[in-house]
Amino acid sequence: MISQAFRDLFKLFFPHLCVGCGQELTDSGQSICIHCRIHLPHTGFASYPNNPIEKIFAGRIPVMFAHSEFYFSQNGLVQQMIHQLKYHNNTRVGYFLGEQLGNALLHSGRWQLYDYIIPLPMHPKKMHQRGYNQAVVIGKGLEAVTQVPLLEKIVVRNKKTDTQTRKKRTERWENVADSFTVQEPEALYQKKILLVDDVITTGATLEACGQHILRVEGTQLGIVSVAYASK
């Protein structure tokens, strides 16, 4: 059994710090401190029909609902948290962000019971490099709160694409066209699907994936993300 003295020594050299401000956390199960949590930039979009995220997809892909929980800004708190998730193996913060997203959906007044949560798939080569798909981590937090089951292997990414960061909207769409495959369409037949990712900018990647899902007869689609990075 690990002694309390060893725990104290470990904590001295490897303190558990807030990913936002660097303050030491007393609860090892937390990702951010109370101060940073209070100052998270919630969008409040979930409660409003025709919100800015739904407008992104209007006329492009039929969605029942679309929402991003936080505003994303350069060097802001949400960017720091997503950076920790994607590049520093901090899956705890990704799970927390998924929980935050789930709580907002449940209390939005617009929540509908979905059959499955599907995280935006990652190409196997990129998955091998990173070790995990950040959308899956977020999806697990979302699943825990909403009790909607997560499906990981039904939709796959079969084309490795260049980074979308500096591309224009049309370039982003061309970059991801035909990048996805629904491997088991019978599993999605007449189901309501909630597609989830970390950040929405132009929505091109989620649109491309969503189009393949909607080709399955009777499917309906909702799209959500942790953050919204407006262009």
Residue 4 lies in a domain: no
DSSP-derived 3-state class of residue 225? strand
Structure token digits, residue 138: 């977020």
Residue 76 lies in a domain: yes
CATH number at residue 116: 3.40.50.2020
> Which pLDDT score, from 0 to 100, does residue 12 have?
42
Tens digits of residue pLDDT in 117-174: 999 999 999 998 999 999 999 999 999 999 999 999 999 998 776 554 555 656 655 6
| Residue 193, domain extent | 32-228
Residue 5 lies in a domain: no
For the chain, the domain total comes to: 1
Examine the pLDDT at 185 and tell me if it is beyond 50: yes
pLDDT, greater one: 59 or 17: 59
pTM, entire model: 0.88
Tens digits of residue pLDDT in 7-44: 444 344 445 889 889 888 888 778 899 999 999 999 99
Residue 44 lies in a domain: yes
Cα 39-44-48 angle, rounded to 5 deg: 175
Rounded-to-integer distance, Cα 120 and Cα 126, Å? 13
